[in-house]
Amino acid sequence: MVGGGKASWVQMLSSASLSGSALLIPNLLRDEFGANTIEIGLITASFSAALFCSSYYFGRYSDIHGRKMILQVGLALTSLAIFMLIFADGVTSLALVRLLIGLCAGIYPSALLAHVYDSDKKVGKFSAYGSLGFGLGVFLAGVISIYYEIFLACSILMFGAFTISLLIPFPTEKHHKVPFFPKEILRRNYPVYLSVMFRHTGANMIWVIYPLFLQDLGAAPWFIGTIYAVNAVAQFVFMNIVDRFSSKKLVAAGFVFSIITFPSYTLATEAWQIIPAQITIAAAWSSLYVGSVKYVMERNEEKGTSAGLLQSSLSISAIIGAICGGVAAYIYGYHGAMYIATVLAILGLIVFYVSSRKVDSSLGKGINPV
CA of 350: how far to CAs of 194, 311, 314, 329, 357, in Å?
Answer: 11, 21, 18, 26, 11
What is the end-to-end Cα distance of the chain in Å, rounded?
Answer: 25
Residue 348 is predicted with a pLDDT of: 94
Residue 1 is predicted with a pLDDT of: 45
Residue 176 counted as domain residue? no
Spatial distance between the Cα atoms of 14 and 155, rounded to a whole number of angstroms: 9
Domain count, the chain: 1
Residue 172 counted as domain residue? no
Residue 370 counted as domain residue? no
Residue 173 counted as domain residue? no
| Structural domain harbouring 275 | 6-166+181-363
159 close to 276: Cβ distance less than 8 angstroms: no
Burial 341-354 (b: 16+ CB within 10 A, else e): bbebbbbbbebbbe
Residue 174 counted as domain residue? no
Residue 61 is predicted with a pLDDT of: 64
Residue 98 is predicted with a pLDDT of: 93
Residue 148 counted as domain residue? yes
pLDDT in tens, the chain (370 residues): 444 488 889 999 999 999 999 888 888 888 888 888 788 878 887 888 888 888 777 777 676 666 788 899 999 999 999 999 999 888 899 999 999 999 999 898 888 877 777 776 577 778 888 888 988 888 888 788 778 889 999 999 999 999 999 998 876 666 556 556 667 777 777 888 899 999 999 998 998 888 888 988 888 888 887 888 888 889 889 988 888 888 899 999 999 999 999 999 999 888 899 999 999 999 999 999 889 888 887 776 766 677 778 877 887 888 888 888 888 888 888 899 999 999 999 999 999 999 888 877 776 654 444 4
- Nearest CA-CA partner of 74 in 46, 43, 44, 113: 113
Residue 364 is predicted with a pLDDT of: 61
Reduced 3-state DSSP string for the chain: CCCCCHHHHHHHHHHHHHHHHHCCHHHHHHHCCCCCHHHHHHHHHHHHHHHHHHHHHHHHHHHHHCCHHHHHHHHHHHHHHHHHHHHCCCHHHHHHHHHHHHHHHCCCHHHHHHHHHHHHCCHHHHHHHHHHHHHHHHHHHHHHCCHHHHHHHHHHHHHHHHHHHCCCCCCCCCCCCCCCCCHHHHHHHHHHHHHHHHHHHHHHHHHCCHHHHHHHCCCCHHHHHHHHHHHHHHHHHHHCCHHHCCHHHHHHHHHHHHHHHHHHHHHCCCHHHHHHHHHHHHHHHHHHHHHHHHHHHHCCCCHHHHHHHHHHHHHHHHHHHHHHHHHHHHHHCHHHHHHHHHHHHHHHHHHHHHHHHHHHHHHCCCCCCC
Q: Read off the pTM.
A: 0.75
Residue 213 counted as domain residue? yes
Residue 244 is predicted with a pLDDT of: 82
Residue 179 neighbours by CB distance under 10 Å: 11
Residue 297 counted as domain residue? yes
CATH of the domain at 306: 1.20.1250.20
